[in-house]
Chain A
Amino acid sequence: MPYLSAGRLRSFGLGRVLVLFVLVFTAFALVLFVQLRPDYLHPTEIGTDVSTYFGAGQRLISGREIYAMSPGDRPMPIWPPFWTVPLVAPPTVAVLWAPLVAFLPPILSIYGWWLAAFAATAATYMWIVTRGNAPVVIAAALLSFATIITGLTGNVNGLLIGGLSAVWFLSRGPRTGPRDVAIGVILAFATALKFGPAVFGLWLLAERRWRAAAAAAVGGIVIAGLTVLVAGPDIVPTYLHVAGDAATAGVTAQSVGGMLRSLGLPEVVVVAAPAGVIVLSGVLAFAFRRRPGVAFSIVAIGATFALPVVRYETLSFLLVALVPWTRALRGSPSAVGVAK
């Protein structure tokens, strides 16, 4: 029998061949990206996402403005009209980074965050590829380039992908208090770091996970309170102004609003598009509430597109929508709508 015959492939399992192919393909793509963009391996470089978070924490502990640059601040690129301020994320990112900047050497805080974000992204991707059926594995492969960019840039999305995937696994077990609190706290943190995950709150309501929803609400209030306490009350109108700019001038071509704009729809529709995505996600999540996996995937897709700023790498967030369609570990509660 030839070394690589159809019979051998069948006995090895076509599914395994597909997984192996996707893993090798992803590994090659990773090497290619690093070759093309060596700066991806230098998160301390000026202008990277992690450098941006570090700079925000630095400005906060120095008593300077989070959303404006002063002489001597770590340089932060702007790109009018998409963004004209050194940070577009909610101020919680700066508050979270303040102790990292204050108590850790920059090398440790920057590389630590970068490695954590990379590990969270890579672990989620590997889980999906190794525990999904063929359509799921192919879907993950289609997201591989965006996933590699997210992982290598150390963007906060990497941590959110890992955290929101954990929410699904936590939701599969018995509805105990600690599990619900953990789900709520993760969602509160995720929403405080980037607005999109707020859509998962609708999933909690659709699934009638009242305790988790309450934990998310309380967690959100506590985090918002701490943020205002540390960053000062002026941070609220300042951030609302930044978010308002992002929702109008900052709309990117890949966002739903940007796509509607390219179709020639009026600006009011473009600006309202994220709200439309949230409402649609909520309606569909309630419609599919008896199929938690479907409802979870719907809100994950909604969270991806519920922002005015969507870039190619943002699509990596769709990995979260694939997590319910993976096989659970032996002995753990099975997922709903799980792949056979």
Chain B
Amino acid sequence: MFLIASVLAGCSERSSLFIENGSGRTMIVRVFFNDFGESFGYAVPAGVRAWGWAPLEGRVSGPIAIYDESCNIVWHDEIRPDGGRLTLDEAGGFRLTSPQSASAEPTSALLDYTDRCADSSNPRR
């Protein structure tokens, strides 16, 4: 029953990640796959608001981390199963909230993938 319930729950899961960089510098955002060293990431220039990935089938799990341009980690947290809206504000604060608030954003604004900071270790470890 648990197996069937889990599978059925998985069928309806979707996720997305919208990033808003209100800080005055380029930041690197990486999402790690569970406990592994594997990750994907985006370089987000100052002032940019764009999608990492627009809504798609499948949830996401693992840490989300923000690095400066020298790949020093400045913040990390567990990503939400549905992704989220990541806000980097002027004061240097970071906030991960529900992706619902990003649903009205145009999906044409998409971030490039980057391998910068990809050799950083998983923040969970």
Residues of A within 8 A of B (CB): 34, 37-39, 41-47, 51, 69-81, 84, 106-107, 110-111
Contact = CB atoms under 8 A, between A and B. Distances in A.
User: Would you call the interface of chain B mostly helix, strand, loop, or mixed?
Assistant: mixed
B37 interface: yes
Nearest to B39: A77
Nearest to B56: A74
B39 A78 contact: yes
Of A76, A78, A84, most B-chain CB atoms within 10 Å? A78
A73 B54 CA distance: 9
Interface string B89-125: 0000000000000000000001111010011000000
Given A71-B111, A78-B118, A37 B33 contact: no
Contacts of A78: 38-40, 115, 118
A37 B10 contact: no
23 contacts: A34-B2, A34-B3, A41-B3, A42-B6, A44-B10, A44-B58, A45-B10, A45-B58, A46-B60, A47-B62, A70-B113, A72-B53, A75-B31, A75-B52, A75-B113, A77-B31, A78-B40, A78-B115, A79-B39, A84-B118, A107-B11, A107-B57, A111-B10
Nearest to B14: A44
Given A42-B59, A46-B15, A47-B60, A71 B118 contact: no
Contacts of B13: 42, 44-45
Contacts of A71: 110-113
Nearest to A114: B7
Given A42-B6, A77-B38, A72 B110 contact: yes
Given A38-B6, A69-B40, 8 more contacts: A39-B61, A42-B13, A42-B59, A72-B54, A77-B31, A79-B38, A79-B39, A111-B11
Given A39-B61, A46-B33, A111-B11, A79 B53 contact: no
A110 B11 CA distance: 10
Given A39-B34, A47-B62, A77-B38, A106 B57 contact: yes
B62 A80 contact: no
Contacts of A84: 115, 118
Contacts of A43: 10
A148 to B, nearest CB: 13
Contacts of B60: 45-47, 75
Per CB-CB distance, the 3 closest pairs between chain A and chain B, nearest first, are A47-B33, A44-B58, A77-B38
B71 to A, nearest CB: 12
B36 interface: yes
Interface string B1-24: 011001100110101000000000
Nearest to B51: A72
B33 A77 contact: yes
B58 A79 contact: no
B93 to A, nearest CB: 25
A163 to B, nearest CB: 24
Nearest to B112: A71
